[in-house]
Amino acid sequence: MDLEPFFKPKTVAVVGASRKPRKFGHVIFKNFVDSEFEGKVYPINPEADTILGLKAYPSVVDVPGELDLTVIAVPAPKVPSIVDDCVTKGVKAAVIISGGFKEIGGEGAKLESSIKKKIEGSSLRIIGPNCIGVYDPVNHVDTLFLPKYRLRRPKQGPIAFISQSGAFGAAVLDWATSQEIGISKFISIGNKVDVDEVDLLNYLAEDPHTKCVTLYVEGISRGRAFLDAAKKTLKNKPVVVLKGGMTKAGARATMSHTGSLAGSAQIYEGAFKGAGIIAAQTVDELFDYARALAYQPVPGSQKNVAIVTNGGGFGVISADEISRRGLGLAEFSSNTLDRLRANLPDYAIPHDPLDLVGDADVERYRMALDAVSSDPNVGIILVIVLLQTSFIESDVVDAISEASLASGKPMVVCTIGGDFTQMLVKMLEEDQIPAYPTPGRAVSAINSLIQYRKVQEDIERRNQQSQVNSP
């Protein structure tokens, strides 16, 4: 695979590595030196002998042996000649961090065209320019030039994230870290002089570390190829896209941001739906959906939702949210009803939403989750746990995780509160149970699971038809 050198390079050169600690090139070089990156890393700087104790080379062509990846962080006018050097050296992949290209028009656009020409016919692949590059916690590739005390790096996990906007990507990575959300690969694609979302989607379709691909894009230039790549990916893993510039005002803004033609919202919406791509409307939704899809199993043919709660109000609001999205609550089977009646206190009424009442303890949750999740009339379970009472302890996380594993049915949690709640949310995250602060967000995430189930049903149906039709 030709994109492998971006994510699994054995040798890396950083052009613009510097002894000045604030310089982007220095930060990137130091990221490699300080990390568990197992390959070799070379600083490229014609004016230095050594940087951070490592021998510096005047140019990539001077580096001994093969070079898989070059990261370029020097002013735009200097970039084309470095690209020449990379081609001469036979470098396989380059990430151009530098800005000052197409996004500023005029001279910048000319510089970018010249780079495009230089790599035609060569085997050099480029990510960028005008991007923050690649973060791969599996192989410890980190070209993010933003300091770690500001942009904290998330741990490894099942979600890949492609962002056309660097700042958007950085903000989301930082937030993901604080939420204990794991990332398989992050790629900021910037001006896309070469590698674009289509190439990356094709690559991530086969990436064993990625269970769900998320994208923030403003313009998609190769529409047909994108839909094909998405369809290929969707056989194995869901694709969630947040498209910027879906309104007139937004589209106008994309022009000056990434120089993208945003295109018609209707066309995008129709095309995404047709291909089975899950469209996020908001920033929240992008990762709300991704966490449900990456962590939880796809629902079976039974799609009704059981709500289990210790707060009646949140049960009511969740039932509202389920109805609004055209989803269904479950009718519990007589077995389940018998079991609930036998084990719940008199003042708890056994129906869906199942209100375990404010004095519910972990044992009551355990019993109810087991009863409900083994009910054939229940396809998906929404567990609401409000932790402000002292009846409930943190081992409710175990009860939820165990019921989730035992039933094989998707389970999502809704909980809101202060420090204690936040701790439990992180424990749930560890166990790959997605937790949401409001019923609306939890039910939206459930809806994305059902959407992906329907996508898979469509794929299955098409496969069967094509088998019937083939001789």
Q: Let me know: does 220 contact 277? Beta carbons within 8 Å.
A: no
Answer yes or no whether residue 36 interacts with its own copies by CB under 8 A. no
Residue 151 found at the interface with its own copies (CB under 8 A): yes
> Distance (Å, rounded) from C-alpha 139 to C-alpha 184?
10
Q: Are 217 and 164 in contact (CB under 8 A)?
A: yes
The b-or-e profile of 144-169 (16+ CB within 10 A means b, else e) is bbbeeeebebbeebbbbbbbbbbebb
Position among 62, 84, 284, 402 found at the interface with its own copies (CB under 8 A): 284
Nearest approach, Cβ of 458 to its own copies (angstroms)?
Answer: 27
Q: Which is nearer to its own copies, 151 or 225 (CB)?
A: 151
Pairing of strands 54-55, 69-72: unpaired
Site for its own copies in 363-392 (CB under 8 A): 386-390
Please write down the long-range contacts of 244-249, taking CB distance under 8 Å and 24 or more positions apart: 244/164, 244/165, 244/216, 244/217, 244/218, 245/218, 245/219
**Residues whose CB falls within 8 Å of the CB of residue 272, separated by 6 or more in sequence, listed in order:** 241, 243, 278, 279
* Per-residue burial over 243-282, b = 16 or more CB atoms within 10 Å of its CB, e = otherwise: bbbbeeeebebbeebbbbebbeeeebeebbeebbbbbbee
Q: Which is nearer to its own copies, 87 or 246 (CB)?
A: 246
297 touches its own copies by CB under 8 A = no
- Using the rule CB under 8 A, which residue among 28, 73, 181, 322 binds its own copies? 322
Which helix (H) or strand (E) element contains residue 189? none
User: Least distance (Å) from its own copies to the CB of residue 159?
Assistant: 16
- Looking at 82-90, 306-314, 445-453, 460-468, which segment touches its own copies (CB under 8 A)? 306-314
CA-nearest of 199, 187, 172, 205 to 291 is 172
> Which 3 state secondary structure label does DSSP give 324?
helix
- Provide the minimum distance between the beta carbon of 156 and its own copies in the complex, in angstroms, as a whole number: 17
Binding part of the chain for its own copies, among 6-14, 200-208, 251-259, 402-410 by CB under 8 A, reads: 251-259
From 80-88, 230-238, 309-317, 427-435, span contacting its own copies (CB under 8 A): 309-317
Find tokens 């398989």 and name the residue.
184
Interatomic CA distance for residues 33 and 255, integer angstroms: 38
Q: Name the residue nearer to its own copies (CB basis): 141 or 176.
A: 176
One residue of 250, 304, 374, 456 binding its own copies per CB under 8 A? 250
Told to check if 146 binds its own copies by CB under 8 A, we report: yes
| Region for residue 41 given its phi and psi (left: phi exceeds 0; alpha: psi -120 to 50; beta: otherwise) | beta
Nearest to its own copies of 53, 418 (CB atom)? 418
Is 361 a binding residue for its own copies by CB under 8 A? The answer is no
| Residues binding its own copies: number (CB under 8 A) | 85
Q: What whole-number distance in Å separates Cα of residue 40 and Cα of residue 10?
A: 6
- Which of 421, 426, 456, 459 is the binder for its own copies (CB under 8 A)? 421
Measure CA of the first residue to CA of the last residue in the chain; give whole Å: 34
Please report how close the Cβ of residue 459 comes to its own copies at its closest, in angstroms.
30
Given a contact cutoff of 8 angstroms between Cβ atoms, the answer to whether 443 and 327 are in contact is yes
Least distance (Å) between residue 262 CB and its own copies? 8
Nearest distance, CB of residue 54 and its own copies, angstroms: 24
Binders in 162-221 for its own copies, by CB under 8 A:
163-168, 170-175, 177-178, 216, 218
| Least CB distance to its own copies at residue 298 (A) | 24
258 binds its own copies (CB under 8 A): yes
Site for its own copies in 337-356 (CB under 8 A): 346-347, 349, 351, 353, 355
Helix (H, G, I), strand (E, B) or coil at 414: strand
Q: How far is the CB of 351 from its own copies (least distance, A)?
A: 7
In the range 71-110, which residues lie near its own copies by CB under 8 A?
A: 99-100, 103-104
> Residue 110, CB half-sphere, CA atoms under 13 Å: how many?
3
Q: Cα 319 to chain center, whole Å?
A: 28
Interface with its own copies (CB under 8 A), residue from 140, 152, 303, 366: 152
Closest distance to its own copies from the beta carbon of 359 (Å):
9
Hey, which residues does 384 pair with through a beta bridge? 309, 414
Among 114-122, 161-169, 220-228, 271-279, which window interacts with its own copies (CB under 8 A)? 161-169
Task: Please tell me whether residue 450 binds its own copies under the rule CB under 8 A.
Answer: no
Interface with its own copies, residue 155, by CB under 8 A: no
Give the range of 29-37, 232-240, 277-285, 336-344 binding its own copies by CB under 8 A. 277-285
With a CB cutoff of 8 Å and minimum separation 6, the contacts of 194 are: 116, 119, 125, 126, 127
Residue 147 touching its own copies (CB under 8 A) = yes
Least Å distance between CB 105 and its own copies?
Answer: 9
